[in-house]
Structure 1
Amino acid sequence: MLKITLEQWRMFKAVVDFGGFNQASAGVHKSQSSIHNAVQKIEHALDVKLFRIEGRKTLLTEAGKLMLRRVDSLLDEAARVEAVGITLAEGVESRLRIAVDEIFPQHLLYKVLDKVSGEFPLLHIELIESVLSGSTELLENAEVDIAISPFPVSGMFSEELCDIEFLGVASPDHLLHSSEKTISFEQLKSHRQIVVRDSAHGKNHDQGWLDAEQRWTVSHMKTSIEMIKSGFGFAWLPVPLIEHELLTGKLKPLTLNNGLKRTAKLHLLFDDGDLLGPAARTFLGELRYQCMYLATSDETLK
C-alpha cells in the first residue's frame, strides 16, 4: 500500500509551481491548511524535509529537488493513464490531427486519408502541411496527434517511414542548360537558388542551400517549383512532387559533375501509442502499407 496519494504529490507540486503555500492555495483553489497538511504527510511518511523558508521565500531542499524530478514523471504518467481511459471510454475519436512534411508524396497521402475516411465517415481530419522541423514542433506542442517529418524527436515514438529522392533541376531554358559541359558546385553558386524556409517558429533552416550568391527563400515547396519552372533559378526538388514536370520537359535535371541526387529520410512520429484511437491506428496501418508499396516500386525502377 502506498503511503502517499497522487493528490498529496499534486499539492507538493503546486507549492513548487506557484512559489509558496499561499500562492498554491489561490492557484489550485484549496485551503492553505489542506496544502500544508498534504506536504507534512509526505515529509512524515518519508522522513525528509521538502521545503525550507528563507524570509518570504519557500525553497526546495536538496531532497525536495530530487523528489520533484520523480514527481514530475509520476504525475505525467498518471495524466496519461487518465487520458487512455478517456480514449477507451469514448471509443472512436472525433478528430485526427496530422502534420505532414511537404516532400511526402501527395498521391500516397490522399490514398491513406481516403481509406481512413471510408472506414470512419464521421471523423474530422485536420491536415497541416509543414517544412523541415515544422511537423516535429507541432507534435512537441501537442498541436497534432501524428507527424511525418525529416527529423525524429527524442522521447517520442519514431519510425523510419520512407526515403525521398531529390534532384537538382532548372527550367530547360535556364542558362545552366546552355552548355553541354558538366557543371561544378562553384559554377552553380553564381546562379540564383530557390530555397524553402523551415516552417517551425524560431527555426532558420533553409532546405538544401548551396551558399549561392543570390537566393530567393519561399515558404512552400509548390512556390519553389513554380518559380523554377518559370526560369527564375535552380533547386533540389523532391522527385515525387515533380514527376509530371520531368516527364513533360518543364523541368530538366542539371548536368552536374557530382551531387545531382540527394536523399532525405522521413520519419513517422507520435507521442504515446496508447492514446491513439481506432482511426489513428487505421491511418498508421494504411500509411505503412502505402510506404512499403512505394519502397517496392522504387526498387523495381532501379
Structure 2
Amino acid sequence: MDDLRPWRWLIGVIDLGGLQAAADHFHRTPSTLSHAIKQLEVQVGLPLVAYQGRRLILTEIGQRLTCRMRPVLRDLDGAQALANKLTQGVEPTLSIAIDQIVPFAPIQAVLTVHAERYPQTRIELYETVLGGGPAMMKSGAIGLYIGTEAVTGLLMESLDCLKLVPCAARTHPLAQQADPVSDADLRRYRQIVIRDSAPGRLANGSWLSAEQRFSVDHLHTAIGLIESGLGFAWLPEPQIASHPMLRALRTIDAVADETDIRLAYTAGFAAGKAGAHLIDTIRARFKD
C-alpha cells in the first residue's frame, strides 16, 4: 500500500461514475485503471468492487476501506498544496490584529477573498482594544494592525472614519427620555467600558465621566450587558444598527466621538505574496 495512486483511482471510478470517466480525469486508459484495481484487491486480499449490471460498485469491504482512505488522500493533497505554495514564496501564516471597535463586516469580506486566493495560508487574528494592537506590533507578534491607535515608527494610512455615539437598550431610561441626553444625564448612569488590552495601560476611551462603570474585555460582552439594561456605552454606529435591541441616544449638540480607522503594517509583512494581497484587499474593501 506504499503507492496510493490505485486508491485514488478506485475512488475516482466510484465518484466519477465509471472507468471511462475516471480514465479521462486521470489521463489513463480504462484498462490501466481496471488492472490497478485488480492488483489492489490482490494486495489487500479482499474483494473491493463488484459489478451491478454494467456499473462498478464498492463491496461492503471496499466502502469501509475507501472511507478510511479518503481523509488520508485529502491530507496528502493539502500537504502537497502547502509545499507548492511555500516553494512559490507564500507565507504559511499571517499574524494580524484588528481592534474590536472596527466594524467586522468589511473584515469578514476581506478574509473571504483572501482565503479563496491563499487557502493554505493560516490567519492568526488577534482581537485587541485600543493600545493592544500597537503593543503587539512593537513586540513583533503581528505584522499588520487595523484600529484607531497610532503605531510609533510606522507609516499609517486612513481606511475610513468611525463615528462613536452613546447607546443603550431600548428599555433603558436614557433611551426612553423625551429630551436629548446631556453629559450630565450620562453621568447619572452606569457606563459599559471595553478595557484596553495593552499590557500595563489603563486607557479606556475618550468619555469616562460616569462614576458607575463595568469594564470588560470584549465587545460582545459589552453589547450583552447593554442589551440587558445594565448601562450605556459609546459604540460605532454600524454596531448599534446591527443590534435591534440597542438604540442610539439623541444627544444635545449632536455630541459624537469621531476617529479614523487606520492601517499599519511592517515592511516584512508587505514583502510576502499573501501579505501584500491581504493589504491590497483591505484597501479595496474599505474604498467600496
TM-score normalised to structure 2 length: 0.66
How far the C-alpha of 1:221 sits from its partner, in A, is 1.2
Match of 1:118 among 93, 116, 119: 116
> Contact 1:150/1:265 (CA < 8 Å) preserved in 2?
yes
One-letter amino acid of the structure 2 residue matched with residue 272 of structure 1: A
275 and 175 in structure 1: CA distance in 2 versus 1, 3 angstrom threshold? closer
Q: What is the CA distance between 1:96 and its match in structure 2?
A: 0.6
Gaps of at least 5 residues in structure 2 are: 1-85
Q: Which residue of 2 aligns with 1:234?
A: 232
Mapped partners of 2:281, 2:210: distance in 1? 40
Larger Rg: 2
Q: Tell whether the 8 Å contact from 1:208 to 1:236 is kept in structure 2 after alignment.
A: no
Among 209, 221, 235, the residue aligned to 1:211: 209
The equivalent of 1:269 in structure 2 is 264
Cα-to-partner distance string for 1:65-100 (whole Å, 9 max, x where unaligned): xxxxxxxxxxxxxxxxxxxxxxx9871111111101
The AA in structure 2 aligned to 1:291 is F
User: Does the CA contact (< 8 Å) of 1:183 and 1:256 recur in 2?
Assistant: yes
**Match in the other structure for 2:183:** 185
Residue pair 1:170, 1:254 contacting (<8 A) in 2 also = yes
Are 1:256 and 2:251 an aligned pair? yes
Structure 1 residue 211: Cα displacement: 1.4
- Are positions 1:142 and 2:137 aligned together? no
- What is residue 284 of structure 1 aligned with on the other side? 279
How far 1:188 sits from its partner (Å)?
Answer: 1.4
2 CA distance for matches of 1:216 and 1:184?
A: 20
| Cross-structure match for 1:94 | 92
Q: Is the 8 A contact 1:196 1:219 kept in 2?
A: yes
Deviation at 1:275, TM superposition (A): 5.7
Moved more, 116-125 or 259-268: 259-268
Deviations 1:230-261 (A, max 9, x none): 1111111112222222xx3x111213213443
CA-to-aligned-CA distance 1:122-170 (integer Å, 9 cap, x gap): 1111100100011111111000111112122232231112111212111
Alpha-carbon deviations, 1:208-242, whole Å to 9, x = none? 43311211111111111111111111111112222
Question: Displacement, 1:173?
Answer: 1.0
Structure 1 pair 95/177, CA: closer, same or farther in 2 (3 Å)? closer
Q: Secondary structure at the match of 1:258?
A: helix
Q: Residue 269 of structure 2 contacts residue 275 of structure 2 at CA under 8 Å; is this kept in 1?
A: no
Q: Which amino acid aligns with 1:278?
A: K
Aligned with residue 161 of structure 1, among 159, 168, 174: 159
Is the 1:156–1:272 Cα contact (8 Å) retained in structure 2?
no
Q: Is the 8 A contact 1:97 1:126 kept in 2?
A: yes
> Alignment length, in residue pairs?
203
5+ long unaligned stretches in structure 1: 1-87, 294-302
C-alpha separation in 1, matches of 2:176 and 2:105? 34
CA 1:96/1:254 → structure 2, altered by over 3 Å: closer, same or farther? same
1:133 aligns with 2:131: yes
Runs of 4+ residues over 4 Å off in structure 1:
none
Q: Is the 8 A contact 2:166 2:233 kept in 1?
A: yes
SS in 1 for 2:164: strand
TM score, norm. by length of structure 1: 0.63
- For the residues of structure 1 that align with 2:152 and 2:197, how far apart are their CA atoms? 20
CA contact (8 A) 1:147 1:270 kept: yes
